[in-house]
Chains A and B, each alone.
Chain A
Amino acid sequence: MKEKMEAVAEQKIAIDLYKNGQNRKVMEPLFRWTSLVFAGLIVLSLAAMILVMVVESWPSITTFGIRFIWDTAWNPVTLEFGALPYIYGTVVSSIIAILVATPISIGCALFLTEMAPSWIRAPIGFLIELLAAIPSILFGLWGLFVFMPFVREYIQVPLNQFFGFIPLFAGEPRGLGMLSAGLLLAIMIIPIITALARDVISAVPSLQKEGALALGATKWEVMRKVILPYSRVGILGAVMLGLGRALGETMAVIMIIGNRPEINLSLLEPGQSMAGVIATQFNESIHSLHVSALIEIGLLLFLVTFLLNVIARFLIWKVSGGKNGVRVVQ
C-alpha cells in the first residue's frame, strides 16, 4: 500500500517536472520581462521625481538663478530666498554625526565580532538592530526632553568654559544647536553603521586571522593589519549609508537644531537643515515663490546627497586600489 502511494507520488513529480518543462518556455521570458519592468520602474520614478521638482522649482530657479546656492537671505515676507544656511546646516550636522559615529561603530562592531563572548553577541546584535528601527520622531522627542538638557549641562557648558576661546565653542550654551543635532544624529546612525560593519567584519575569512595569529600577531595587530584592511571597503560603505540617513533626517533634527537659518562658526549656535525647512514651512506657506524655493531646496538636497555619494564611491575606489572589489592587503 505504502509503496504504491510512493510510486504514485513519484509519478506525480515526474508529471510536474514535465509540465514545468512546458512552462519554461513561457515562464522564463515572463520572469525576465517582469524583473526588467520592476527595475525600470525605479529609474522611471526617480526621473519623474526630478522632473517634477525641476518644473515646480522653475519660478525660483529663474528668479534667483545660481546665486540661490550661496545666498544667505531667507525672507518669506520680502520673498528673497537663498539656500546656503540650510546647506551648511545639513552638511555640518551630518559631518559631526559621521565623525562621532564612525569610531564608536567600528569599535562596537569589532567588539561584537572578535572579543565579546558568544552568549552576549546575539542579544546585543538584536538590540542594535532594534535601535536602528526606532522611528526618528521618537529620537527627536527624546532628544528634546532628555538629551538636550544633558548636552547643555555636561557637554556644552564645559566646552564653552574651557574652550570658549575657540570660535567653534563660543557663544551661549543653550542646549539647542548644531552640536546637539550632530550628536543626536550620531546616536541615530551608530546602529546602522555598527550592524553593517559587523556583517562585513564577520565575513573576513578565519584563515587570514589564524594565519596572522600563527605568525605571532596580537589581537590588536590582527584587527589593525588583517581585519580592518580586509573589510575597509565594506565599512566605508556602511559609513556612507549612515551618512545618507544623517543627510535626510528630518524630524529629529527639527526638534533639536534650533531652526535658525544662519551660518555660525560656533557649534553651540542654532542652525537649520534642508530637510527641516521643507518639512516645517511647506504646509502653511502661501506665496507660490516661497513654495517654489522650498522645492528647489529639495532639489539641492538631492544634489548634495548625490555629490556625497559620488565622493564616497571615489573614496571606495581609491581605497580598494583602483579595482571595484575587495583587495587583501599584505
Chain B
Amino acid sequence: MLSKRFSEKKGVKGGLLFLAILMLALLVAACGAGNDNGSQSIDPAQTETTEPTDASDSTEQDQAEQDSAADDAEGGEEGYAPPTANVTLRGAGASFPHPLFMSMFYDYNQQYPNIIVDYESTGSGGGQRALKEGTVDFAASDAYMTEEDMAEVPNGGVIHIPITIGTVAIIYNLEGIDTGLKLTQETLSKIYLGEITRWNDPLLVADNPDLDLPDQAITVVHRSDSSGTTSIFTDYLSKVSPEWAEKVGSGTAVDWPTGIGGNKNDGVAAQVAQTPGSIGYVEFAFAVENNLTYAQLRNKDGYFVFPSLEAASLAAADAAANMPEDTRVSLVEKGGKDSYGIVGTSWLLLYKEYPDPDKKAAIQHLVSWMYREGQKHAEPLHYAPIPEEIAQINDRNLAKIK
C-alpha cells in the first residue's frame, strides 16, 4: 500500500521533471533565436566553405583569392593582402547602413573565410561611444565626430571613411495627389518651422500650378527617435534656411518647432499613411520599397529633382572636389543640374593604430574591399554607391593606418 502511494508520487515527480526539462529546452531555443537577431555575426560555421580539408571548397577559396588579387591589380595602387591568420573584427554603430553591411560582410566572408566580421547595429551614438571606450575594432556613424569627441578616441585617433551615401525622401499623404509634388528649400523649411500650415498656401500653389492643392491643415511628422536620417534632414534645413539654423539647428535629435513624432522610418511612414494631409521624411530606400508618394525638391541650381541613387551619387561627386582630407563634411545642397539636396554620408570610423598586425591587415583589406568591390551590394539595396573621387580619398586615409 505504502509502496504504491510512493511510486505514484514518483510518477508525478517524473512528470514534473519532464515538464521542467521541456520548458528549459524551449527557453534555450528561444534564447538562441534571440541572440541570432541581436547581433548578426557571420562566422565560417554558417557559410558553406568551412572545411579546409574539403578539396572542392579549397579550390573555390583559391579561386576567390585569385579573383580579388586580379581586382586589386586592376584597381591600382592600394592592394592590401588579407592576413592568413584567423581574425575576428568587431564593429558597432549606425543602423542605417546595417542591411548593406550584412550583405557585404556575408559576401566578404564567403571569399575570405578566415576573417569574421561581427557588426552590431547599436546606433551612431552607440558606435561612437564604443570607439571611444575601445571595445570595438571599428564603428559606423551617420554623423561625423566632433573635434571634442575625436580627442577622446584612443589608439592614435580616428579615421573617417565614407562608405555609403544616404538619401532622404519627403513623403506626404494628400488625397488624389500622386508622387511629384514640388517643394522648394523655402516651402519645406517653412512647413517644418510651422510657418506654412495649410496645403493651399500661396507659396505651395505657386510652385504647383497644375495640382489642385486642398484647403487642409498640414500635419508635420518627424522622427521621434534620434537618427542619422534626422541628422541629414536637419543639416539640410540648417543649410537652406538661416531661420532654421538659428532657431533649431541640426543633430540626430532636435527640438522640433511643430509636428508629431513617429518611431523610426516605419513609424513615420505609418503616421503619414494614417493621417490625411501629413508630410514626413524617410530614408529613400524605405520610400521606394513601400511605394510611398514622395516629393521632388528644387536643388541648388534651381531644378526640381526626384530623389534617386544617381542624384545622390552626383551630389557626393560634386562634394568630393572640395572635400577635406578627413572627409568630415556635409553633403547637403550640393551643386549640379541633377543632384538632389538631402543627401548625407555614412562613415566607417577606424583607429589610426592597430597594435595587432593581423588586425591591421584585416581592417585595411576589409575596408578597401568595402568601398570598392563591396559597392556592388549598394544599388540592389537602394544605397547610393561611393563615387570614385571619394574612394581615392579613402585610399589615402587608409594608408595612414599604422
CB distance from B155 to the nearest CB of A (A): 20
SS class of chain A's interface: helix, strand, loop or mixed?
mixed
B251 within 8 A of A: yes
Q: Are A283 and B123 in contact (CB under 8 A)?
A: yes
Q: Are A76 and B254 in contact (CB under 8 A)?
A: yes
Q: Are A9 and B2 in contact (CB under 8 A)?
A: yes
A77 within 8 A of B: yes
Q: Are B249 and A77 in contact (CB under 8 A)?
A: yes
Docked complex Cα distance between A6 and B226 (Å): 73
Docked complex Cα distance between A71 and B2 (Å): 73
Q: Are A260 and B123 in contact (CB under 8 A)?
A: no
Interface centre among A77, A145, A148 (most CB of B within 10 A): A77
Which of B268-276, B303-311, B321-329 is the contact stretch?
Answer: B268-276
Which residue of A has the minimal Cβ distance to B247?
Answer: A77
Which of A158-166, A226-234, A251-259 is the contact stretch?
Answer: A251-259
Q: Are B260 and A281 in contact (CB under 8 A)?
A: no
Q: Are B263 and A280 in contact (CB under 8 A)?
A: yes
- Identify which of A76, A172, A286 contacts B124 (C-beta below 8 A): A286
Number of B interface residues in the complex (CB < 8 A): 43
B143 within 8 A of A: yes
Per-residue CB contact flags for chain B residues 118-132 toward chain A (1 = under 8 Å, else 0) read 000011111011000
Which of B15-23, B217-225, B375-383 is the contact stretch?
Answer: B217-225
Which residue of A has the minimal Cβ distance to B249?
Answer: A77
A74 within 8 A of B: yes
A297 within 8 A of B: no
B248 within 8 A of A: yes
Q: Are B263 and A76 in contact (CB under 8 A)?
A: no
User: B residues 1-60 with Cβ under 8 Å of A?
Assistant: 1-3, 6
B259 within 8 A of A: yes
B296 within 8 A of A: no
Docked complex Cα distance between A149 and B275 (Å): 9
User: B residues 213-263 with Cβ under 8 Å of A?
Assistant: 217, 219, 224-228, 248-256, 259-263
Asked whether A255 and B6 contact (CB < 8 A) given A74-B255, A75-B255, the answer is no
B82 within 8 A of A: no
Which residue of A has the minimal Cβ distance to B278?
Answer: A174
Q: Are B125 and A286 in contact (CB under 8 A)?
A: yes
Asked whether A280 and B274 contact (CB < 8 A) given A9-B6, A270-B260, the answer is no
- Identify which of A73, A76, A144, A259 contacts B224 (C-beta below 8 A): A259
Q: Are B260 and A284 in contact (CB under 8 A)?
A: no
- Identify which of B217, B225, B255, B267 contacts A281 (C-beta below 8 A): B225
Docked complex Cα distance between A9 and B3 (Å): 6
Residues from chain A with Cβ under 8 Å of B259 in the complex: 260
Q: Are B248 and A77 in contact (CB under 8 A)?
A: yes
Docked complex Cα distance between A270 and B267 (Å): 15
Interface centre among A5, A73, A284 (most CB of B within 10 A): A284
Q: Are B270 and A144 in contact (CB under 8 A)?
A: yes
Residues from chain B with Cβ under 8 Å of A73 in the complex: 255
Residues from chain B with Cβ under 8 Å of A259 in the complex: 224, 260-263
A301 within 8 A of B: no
Residues from chain A with Cβ under 8 Å of B142 in the complex: 284
Q: Are B225 and A255 in contact (CB under 8 A)?
A: no
Q: Are A175 and B274 in contact (CB under 8 A)?
A: yes
Which residue of A has the minimal Cβ distance to B229?
Answer: A284
CB distance from B249 to the nearest CB of A (A): 4
Residues from chain A with Cβ under 8 Å of B67 in the complex: none
A176 within 8 A of B: yes
B95 within 8 A of A: yes
Q: Are B253 and A284 in contact (CB under 8 A)?
A: yes
Residues from chain A with Cβ under 8 Å of B226 in the complex: 76, 280-281, 283-286
Q: Are A258 and B261 in contact (CB under 8 A)?
A: yes
Asked whether A285 and B125 contact (CB < 8 A) given A10-B3, A76-B253, A260-B256, the answer is yes
Per-residue CB contact flags for chain B residues 154-170 toward chain A (1 = under 8 Å, else 0) read 00000000000000000
Interface centre among B122, B252, B256 (most CB of A within 10 A): B252
- Identify which of B94, B141, B219, B248 contacts A174 (C-beta below 8 A): B219
Q: Are A281 and B253 in contact (CB under 8 A)?
A: yes
Q: Are A270 and B124 in contact (CB under 8 A)?
A: no
A303 within 8 A of B: no
Residues from chain A with Cβ under 8 Å of B270 in the complex: 144-145
Which residue of B has the minimal Cβ distance to A149?
Answer: B274
Q: Are A284 and B123 in contact (CB under 8 A)?
A: yes
Docked complex Cα distance between A276 and B94 (Å): 20
Residues from chain B with Cβ under 8 Å of A281 in the complex: 225-226, 253
Asked whether A284 and B124 contact (CB < 8 A) given A13-B6, A77-B251, A149-B274, the answer is yes
Residues from chain B with Cβ under 8 Å of A6 in the complex: 1-3
Q: Are B128 and A286 in contact (CB under 8 A)?
A: yes
Q: Are B126 and A283 in contact (CB under 8 A)?
A: yes
B149 within 8 A of A: yes
Which residue of A has the minimal Cβ distance to B251?
Answer: A77
Q: Are B227 and A284 in contact (CB under 8 A)?
A: yes
Residues from chain A with Cβ under 8 Å of B254 in the complex: 75-77
A272 within 8 A of B: yes
A62 within 8 A of B: no
CB distance from B367 to the nearest CB of A (A): 22
Per-residue CB contact flags for chain B residues 94-114 toward chain A (1 = under 8 Å, else 0) read 110000000000000000000
Docked complex Cα distance between A73 and B248 (Å): 12
CB distance from B115 to the nearest CB of A (A): 27
Residues from chain A with Cβ under 8 Å of B248 in the complex: 77
Per-residue CB contact flags for chain A residues 193-229 toward chain B (1 = under 8 Å, else 0) read 0000000000000000000000000000000000000
Docked complex Cα distance between A10 and B142 (Å): 75
- Could you pull out 21 A-B pairs where Cβ atoms are within 8 angstroms? A9-B2, A13-B6, A76-B252, A76-B254, A77-B248, A77-B249, A78-B255, A144-B274, A175-B274, A175-B275, A255-B263, A255-B267, A258-B260, A259-B224, A259-B260, A260-B224, A280-B225, A281-B225, A283-B126, A284-B125, A284-B253
* Other A-B pairs beyond A172-B217, A174-B260, A176-B275, 4, CB < 8 Å: A75-B255, A258-B260, A284-B228, A285-B125
Question: A-B pairs with the 7 shortest C-beta distances?
Answer: A259-B261, A283-B123, A259-B224, A280-B225, A9-B3, A77-B249, A284-B226
